[in-house]
Structure formats: C-alpha cells, structure tokens
Structure 1
C-alpha cells in the first residue's frame, strides 16, 4: 500500500482535509485530466449535470451521507433539501476528491492491487461503474489466459473480484510471455470494445467516441 499522507484541497473558502495514499492522489489527478473540471450539463450525457466528472445521477445516490450528523445530506450543498444540478455546480475539487476516494478507490481496494491495475480499475469504475470495471478486468484476464496452453481455466465474468480472479491475475503477471504489459493491453482492448458497443447501441453517443478511445489508450500509463 502507498504511504498515507494528509492532503489539503482548497477552493474558495472551503478546505477539505483527508488522509489518502500518494497513489490515490496521483490517480485522482490523472482521472481529472480525463474528466475535466468544468460544470457541464450536456443533454446527450446520460449522467446528467457533471462537474469534475461527478454526475448528478451518482451524486444523488452517494451524496446523501451525513457524516457531520446535522440531519442534512452532506452534499445538499445549497441547503434546499434535495440534491440536484445546483449542488453539482457547487462541488469543489476537494469535494470530488473525497467522494472518489470514499465511493470508488476504497470500495475497489485499489491500493492493494498491483500498479497499474488499481489505477485502471479506478478510472473505469468512475466511467462505467464498479461492477463493469471489474468485469472488464476479468475479460482482460481471460484474453491473456487464452494465449497460454498451460493457463488456468477461464474466469466467470461476474464482476466479483474473489480468489479465482486474483489467482488468475497472479498467474498472468508471473507468466513470462504475458506479464503486466499483456494485461494492460488486454484491458485497453476490452475498454475500447465497450465504448464502441455503446456508440453502436446509441448513435447519440458516437460524438463522444473519439475522446473515449483516447481515454482507453491512456489507461495504465500513469
């Protein structure tokens, strides 16, 4: 695991202090390079209003926490009793970093996964959901396993990272002809296939495809 460090993110008059690994801090900076920092409310974006890559759809689910026990959802930032686009607009970089750490990085156990597997999973979990990101990893592992006659059995693609998935990953990483470069390449392939499938199913999303594919190509390069 990376060393735990206190980081301070400030925006306007708000300061958020959290403890997280240097590894997460770098992964977050890389993610924001993909997601952007502006408030966007594009009718074609199925997540709704977005800022720092944090969509209204996800904030409604994850922002209802009340860590300060004041009886109000912590991410009802304008205090009007609900979480809506106005609250997305008010998100700070520190808010986004806290949420990504709590809702994605920790749930994935990314610090305990080898580099850059944890980083790739984190990036795609934010983009596609945790279950989909885990399935992408399992498909990538299966793609690697098919290349070796002595490989273990193919994984069940169920989005659960349990002993079988971890054993398969360890096998791929130890196999001389495969290793991390092969797994990273296979993960990128699976991500590209997913993006192309989305664009095929929904032509309104095709205008995002070029950017999505560029994002796939950057995976694992942190």
Structure 2
C-alpha cells in the first residue's frame, strides 16, 4: 500500500513557502494551504506539521491514498488533489481507468487503480492534467502566468 510519508515531502517542495499573489484566487498561501480554503487558519504562521495534518486528512485520505497499491500512482493523484482539488484529481483518475467519474474514489475505482498498468496510467494521467491546465488558462487568461510552473510540476522538472 502507498505511504503518505513517501508523498508529502515532494508535495511540500512543489507547493513552496508563503505567497500572497494577487492573481492567485486562493489568496494568501503557505505550503499550498490557502486562506480561501482554510479561512480559520493563520496562514502566515502555519507550521509544516500543521500543513501535513491538513494534507493527510483533507487530501490523502479523500483519495484513499493508503488503499492504493502503487506509491507512484497515489503520489500523482495526491499531488493533483493538492493542486486541483480532490474531486477533480479523482475524476481525472476515474476517466483514465474507465470508472464513472463522480470524483469519489470508492471500491470499484480502487480495484481498477490497483490493477492498472502503472506506467500507462501515469502517462495518461499526466496528459490529462496538462489538458486541464490548458483549459484553466482558456477560461481564465490570467492563469497563463501559472501554466509553465504547472506543466513543470506535471513533468517533475
């Protein structure tokens, strides 16, 4: 089974430290935790351990990361959940594996995720993420400034 600790450090590196970009719809953000999503949290003083606890409960557990066999598959879906939301990350995975894309990883989706060819899934999933980012730029041109970074994140650059 996949291990949260194998994924969280990579996510925290991708998310970076404190940012308050006026073009970021999430607003004030630290370790990828946004004021918009967590208005009750003091973002500027958020600790790494607090961020890890949020990511475990609200993202990793929502994608059933502990029940996915492959660390690589779990990481990819988890990283996408952090960046796009758990429902979107789950829907993209469900489309790739041929499950009904309801945005909730359940028993059927888990079974398919645990049987799929890991390499093929990862290639298709990364392409789906890039297509989603292109769509986000199309519907909100202000997102263009983030596109290069998003694509680098997908490619692991």
- TM-score, length-scaled by structure 2: 0.90
String of CA shifts for 1:150-190, please: whole Å, max 9, x gaps. Answer: xxxxx32221223432343345x2xxxxx111011011011
Query: How many matched pairs?
Result: 156
Which structure would you say has the larger Rg?
Answer: 1
Residues 1:57 and 2:36 are matched in the alignment: yes
Rounded Cα–Cα distance in structure 2 between residues aligned with 1:118 and 1:210 = 24
Q: Which position in structure 2 is the counterpart of 1:191?
A: 129
Q: Which position in structure 2 is the counterpart of 1:127?
A: 83
Change (3 A) 1:59 1:26: same
More relative contact order, 1 or 2 (CA 8 Å, 6+ apart): 2
Q: Unaligned 5+ residue runs, structure 1?
A: 3-22, 64-74, 76-86, 143-154, 174-178
When you count strand as a share of all residues, which structure comes out higher? 1
Residues 1:46 and 2:25 are matched in the alignment: yes
Query: Which segment drifts farther, 125-134 or 104-113?
Result: 104-113
Q: Which position in structure 2 is the counterpart of 1:27?
A: 7
Rounded Cα–Cα distance in structure 2 between residues aligned with 1:89 and 1:202 = 27
Aligned CA-pair RMSD? 1.8
Instruction: Determine which of 44, 56, 73 is the counterpart of 1:89.
Output: 44
When you count helix as a share of all residues, which structure comes out higher? 2
